[in-house]
Chains A and B, each alone.
Chain A
């Protein structure tokens, strides 16, 4: 049993669509007969990339003139739904923009959102989402009960992207209605912070630091080790809250989900909030002074020791190889 139509909110640019978008398009093919993408920009930019993951059509809003995408994209989708041209469900990634659009759309359609799902399945003519709770120790399944368009926010890294072998998608305009002051937020400048290595959520290896580092300056150890191993550096919530590193580097329930080949947790105790964001990693190494730290419960290799001793020794040994 499948739904008729699912739309996926596609993120990316003319170079590539995001890995989350690839995942969502892949999953949507299992759930519905027709899969299409919604794109905030020029649809031709992603027609080939999204087409190759099974999007038949790109519904594109065109240039939004710097507006934050939440209001205009939601309004455009809502107008299509109200005109009877909308999908049965829409999948969005749990990203800054995905959340904004889902939230605005839910108000416009008076439809609920099922959030933070790591799996979604068809049940009769509706959808059921699976959401990890208590740091992933339990899973909860939530079902849409009404007839409204089903809005689903999916955690990145939930599915394995797989190309469908399809060609370029058709591109159609998705008209953005006249918007009042609600769409008043405009981007005036984009700041790109230089980073050398791979992106946190795409890296094959992640080194993450936590409160056990003791002070903000010690995060340098984490950065150095990540650099040396060609990985990305991440952080636990505790040190993001403390202002040591920006929120964009946070791994966890609030923050990013990572599933690298190797995850090295340095001075992280392993609160449930953190575990849910990293325990899908293939291999986990943990370094922590406290032998009772919960992080050791998920670590393939646990080192009971001081990160200030172990990491410098590790860096030196790697240097001499």
Chain B
């Protein structure tokens, strides 16, 4: 079985982000790392290939400046190869354009299954996996919390507000996974060393048969017109627990009529 995983490389969420004042996009000239949300997808793919008795896990990513750090993490976990699309023309691309780019790479790979995180940790539009499925013309299941592949179809538990739905879906298909569904493995030393020699194929927009006008800001159908500071919330009283702080909480709850 061949499983493709979409991997986003993002600025470290622990560092406060910033907008580039000129392009009004997230600054991505900092060191990028793998979006933790995607490590669940990589782990799920490795487990599904194992359960199927073998196969391969391939990665696709779109990132500026030929960034590979995040891909290396996923390759070190055990993925076999990667395709990276990197092109200055991509700045300002909306989710739909991103999906078109990734779908082009995925179509070349012809996987049985595509796995993506439900939403990225930085942009969090949460639409790209379903848009990829739309571009490919494939069925899809979003917000998966468990996946079982049975030959030419899969059974998925799809998260709902009330619990979950059991969903049956033919393959090939796209599935997006929520965080926490599996425990991502830590790359072993051997894995890290092996990752260095795994193939990463880099492509430009032109390599995918697209023009610069079809991507980036010009292809996106939207523009940022304003960025402003939001109204800040004032902090209130802060006390040290001396063993009686719970009484203060009760007093507060009473004062706002919650008790």
Q: Which residues of A contact B (CB under 8 A)?
A: 68, 70-71, 74, 94-96, 99-100, 102-104, 106-108, 110-116, 128, 132-134, 136-146, 148, 153, 180-193, 199, 204-205, 229, 237, 240-244, 246-248, 253-254, 261-262, 264, 271-273, 279, 282-283, 285, 287, 291, 296-306, 309-311, 313-314, 317-318, 321
| Additional A-B contacts beyond A100-B142, A137-B232 (19; CB < 8 A) | A68-B158, A70-B142, A94-B126, A106-B131, A107-B99, A108-B134, A141-B226, A181-B138, A185-B168, A188-B168, A189-B165, A190-B160, A190-B162, A191-B163, A199-B161, A247-B118, A253-B124, A296-B235, A321-B259
Question: Which residues of A sit under 8 angstroms from B140, Cβ to Cβ?
Answer: 68, 70, 100, 185
Q: Which residues of B contact A (CB under 8 A)?
A: 13, 16-17, 19, 24, 36-37, 94-96, 99, 118-119, 121, 124-131, 133-135, 137-143, 145, 156-170, 173, 178-181, 183, 220-230, 232-233, 235-241, 243, 245-250, 252-253, 256, 258-259
- A182 and B137 form a contact (CB under 8 A): yes
Question: Which residues of B sit under 8 angstroms from A138, Cβ to Cβ?
Answer: 19, 227-230
Q: With A115-B125, A185-B139 as given contacts, are A191 and B96 in contact (CB-CB < 8 Å)?
A: no
- A115 and B95 form a contact (CB under 8 A): yes
Question: Which residues of B sit under 8 angstroms from A191, Cβ to Cβ?
Answer: 157, 163-166
Rounded to whole Å, the gap between the CB of A238 and the closest CB of chain B is 10
Q: With A99-B142, A240-B179 as given contacts, are A181 and B13 in contact (CB-CB < 8 Å)?
A: no
Question: Which residues of B sit under 8 angstroms from A248, Cβ to Cβ?
Answer: 159-161
Q: With A181-B138, A273-B13, A282-B256 as given contacts, are A304 and B238 in contact (CB-CB < 8 Å)?
A: yes
Instruction: Give Cα A42 to B137, complex, Å.
Output: 27
Chain A contact residues: helix, strand, loop or mixed = mixed
- B137 and A141 form a contact (CB under 8 A): no
- B125 and A113 form a contact (CB under 8 A): yes
Closest residue of B by beta carbon distance from A96? B143
Closest residue of A by beta carbon distance from B127? A103
